[in-house]
Structure 1
């Protein structure tokens, strides 16, 4: 029986060198720092990890490095999504072979499949690869919403162990939390909804801002898990300006800018993404200074 996924998981950025190559030492250091800060799970090669601009070999290498550095300490939920089911299956099998513990599968983007086709897509992947699957619902990026009834239909199958819910629809999220089976975790896909999703009974968050402030997000999830709402509210007040800063432009543009300011990696992205606009940099730096993440 797969252990229920709980707490905070970081949707890892993918560090690149200034000339655009994969920065393996920076990735290893980022993974080690995340675990040292108490992170409960790590998610390489999602949208925050710029997976769509990685070559197939780079995608496997990022997951391989993450698995090596984690060395069994926390789950590694590897991004394996594609809008071609055959490609998603092939990638899932490759990620299983290099040690991922779970797979993250996003709803197919651009094709706009109906709900019954989403069920067929996810079930075909589960049939082809025996790793537990986390479903990722992010209609803002994919142009398709995984409806509550569809999510619950999949959740009845024990091969699907969680949903990363980034629809922002609290009524939908609440329905899934209320009606899901006991093996199925509900994780917020929005940093700013971590507290309300967990207050409804969700298990945690897959976070962008935990790239930058891992301990704060871990503490927030831990406070909610022990039902210490007063402590959680205080932590939410601390982290709220960082959440605002992290989404001032498309993710992961601000996150990489902040990590570069912290000296953890180069502020390098791959087109069509570009570095943070200069007009935002002073405000973003001020947020980091106030958090104590960089000297003021």
Structure 2
């Protein structure tokens, strides 16, 4: 699954002032991120928990129809109800989708044996390859190394997005899974060290706001220039931290409003970013853009994504 090596973007879902989906803003976001390696639709950053089934279908269709550089598309389909995931994967029109991101079951806190059974059932039924998604801060369950290694043997599971923040676990997973099993960072700030130990890229929140700058960082890391990538990431760290101060996607939507892409509105129970946060992000965003103009963020990113 080489299409999912590099910088993937967990797309936000822009909203109008009335709270409906802002499709013109979504089109601007797709244009803004058109040179990333792939898009993830209906991930956590999309506020998928507050989107209706019809809205999810609408967003997916819109992304498919407004894909200027033919980016691969990964679709988020996960639940704490295994049967619900299978029903979605086997009855929805997923034409034009290349893979499925399926989050670890939340709230019910299954055992590791339950996780293996859950993902095995989904992978058996799915018409598309599955990327596991480990995010214990949201699910209260960490997929163990043994669980991920066991699931890596399933022919329809091609990798894991890991937002566990544990580099020791990352090393163990990478060293005990097949060479073609992808290990993808779910934490922007840890992307460079994860790539340095054998990881394959990131599914990013940060890249919504600064796709070229973070893309350059990821590309340099994948090309083995860890020193350059580390220096670039150091320019992005404070901005990255600020994006999550008031929750995700609260911060990145505020940053996208600053960038002129979409409004900062979110759906309850989230509330939009505070004036203090927006002011901080505005200053940091301008600093990043100044650094970019000074060629701090240099790599073969543009050439690699030239169409």
TM-score bin (small chain): over 0.9
Equivalent of 1:45, from 31, 34, 42? 42
Written as runs of structure 1 = structure 2, the 5 A alignment for 1:85-164 is 85-95=82-92, 97-164=94-161
Equivalent residues of 2:89, 2:127 under 8 A apart: no
Partner of 1:271: 268
Mapped to 1, the partners of 2:189 and 2:242 lie a distance apart of 12
- From 220, 223, 226, the counterpart of 2:220: 223
SS in 2 for 1:274: coil
The question of whether the paired residues in 2 share the 8 Å contact of 1:4 and 1:184 is answered with no
2:15 is matched with which residue? 16
Q: Deviations over 1:88-128 (max 9, x none)?
A: 11222355534211100000100101011111111111121
Whether contact under 8 Å (1:245, 1:287) holds in the other structure is: no
2:120–2:154 CA contact under 8 A, matched in 1:
no
Normalization by structure 1: what TM-score?
0.94
Q: Specify the SS of the correspondent of 1:171.
A: helix
Cα deviations across residues 100-159 of structure 1 (Å, max 9, x unaligned)?
111000001001010111111111111212201111000000111111110111111121
Residues 1:169 and 2:166 aligned together: yes
Deviating more after overlay: 3-12 vs 39-48: 3-12
How far off its partner does 1:4 sit?
A: 5.9
Q: 1:265 to 1:149 in 2, by over 3 A?
A: same
- Could you list the per-position Cα deviations for residues 53-98 of structure 1 after superposition, in whole angstroms to 9, with x for gaps in the alignment? 0000001111111122226722211111111111111222355534
The answer to whether the aligner puts 1:64 opposite 2:61 as a matched pair is yes
For 1:90 and 1:177, the matched residues in 2 are separated by 31
Which segments of structure 1 move beyond 6 Å, counting only runs of 4 or more? Answer: none
How far did 1:286 drift?
1.0
Q: Give the secondary structure class of the aligned counterpart of 1:111.
A: coil
**Structure 2 counterpart SS, 1:48:** helix
- The equivalent residue for 2:80 is 83
Aligned pair count reads 290
The answer to whether the 8 A contact 1:188-1:205 is kept is: yes
The match for 1:289 is: 286
Among 185, 190, 205, the alignment partner of 1:188 is 185
Say if 2:74 and 2:101, in contact at 8 Å, map to a contact too: yes
Measured in 1, the distance between the counterparts of 2:276 and 2:225 equals 38
Task: Find the counterpart in structure 1 of residue 293 from structure 2.
Answer: none
Give yes or no for contact 1:18–1:267 (8 Å, CA) kept in 2: no
Aligned residues: CA RMSD: 1.5
Aligned residue for 1:202, secondary structure, equals coil
- Residue 240 (str. 1) matches residue 237 (str. 2): yes
Q: Deviations over 1:150-199 (max 9, x none)?
A: 01111111211111100011111111111111221000000010011000
What secondary structure does 2:240 align onto?
Answer: helix
**In the aligned structure 1, how far is the partner of 2:119 from the partner of 2:13?**
26
5+ unaligned residues in a row in structure 2: which ranges?
Answer: 291-307
